A = this chain, B = another copy of it.
Amino acid sequence: MANFLFHESDPFAPVNYAYEFERILCQRRTSFQELLIFSNPFFGRVLALDGVVQLTERDEHFYHEMLSQVALHAHPQPVDILVIGGGDGGTVREVVKHKSIGKVVLVELDREVVEVSREYLPTLSSGFADPRVEIVEAEGSAFLAGTRKKFDVIIVDSTDPVGPAASLFTARFLSRAHRALKPDGMFVAQTESLHFHRDFVREVQERLAARFRLVALYAVPLATYAGNWWTFSIASKVYDPREMRRKHRVPTKYYAEDVHRHAFLPASLYRKLMTDG
């Protein structure tokens, strides 16, 4: 039987994915993007923005745990956390697992993503109910320019660096993020695929290295992002992000002590990435 298919249309990827869908749960044009939630027999509920899959219930934990838990375990005492993007709530859910966290500010451009996630993605948005969470409706770079707060960890949970998220990888943005961190702060961002966006990964690594004492790259294979060898760029003023300074005491499905160490690229690959044409 020919089923209904959702054909992804990702301008940033040389291959697009097609997903069977059972049912459309939500489809609307927000002020910023086309938002779609549908259900798939294998992946559960799937969120797409502007035709690009952002998460599925089945495998989002790989992404959200790895985006959040590495920095939260490499920093010895994270208290004030800033999340930029991530209106679905998956990253906030990971952050509030830590009892030691004092405050999480979520800066999201599109409040409708937050609303829709509350309604249709309860396993993602569950963290929003935590009293330590403050949601700010703003563009990430503008927020950083205007804030006087200082953070222990800044997490950038963005869409692809085209359109609304392009501003979150510029030299100016990274300088602002550096300034908004405490003297021993850490920064981490999703930085796309090693298979498809190698030049982009390298650019971000170089921009971070110009501003932070320690810069590293780790990766995780994701099933539902085109290119799938997904990178996270992490930068730190003091602590080596490869080392865990806190015991792993929060519930996770994928992240673990050996996964933390293992996620960082072997030296030979990192060298090739940073020097090959």
**Chain A interface residues toward B at CB < 8 A:** 7, 14-20, 40-43, 59, 193-196, 219, 221, 223-224, 227-229, 254, 256-259, 261-262, 266-269
Contact = CB atoms under 8 A, between A and B. Distances in A.
| Tally of this chain's copies | 2
A18 B19 contact: no
A258 B267 CA distance: 7
Contacts of A40: 14
A224 B226 CA distance: 9
Nearest to A248: B268
Contacts of A269: 254, 256, 258-259
Contacts of A196: 42, 223
Contact of A221 (B17, B224, B228, B257): B228
Given A221-B228, A259-B269, A262-B262, 4 more contacts: A14-B20, A256-B269, A258-B269, A259-B268
Nearest to A59: B195
19 contacts: A7-B18, A14-B42, A15-B18, A17-B18, A42-B196, A59-B195, A195-B221, A195-B223, A196-B223, A219-B221, A221-B221, A228-B228, A254-B269, A256-B268, A256-B269, A257-B268, A259-B268, A259-B269, A262-B266
Nearest to A252: B268
A269 B259 CA distance: 8
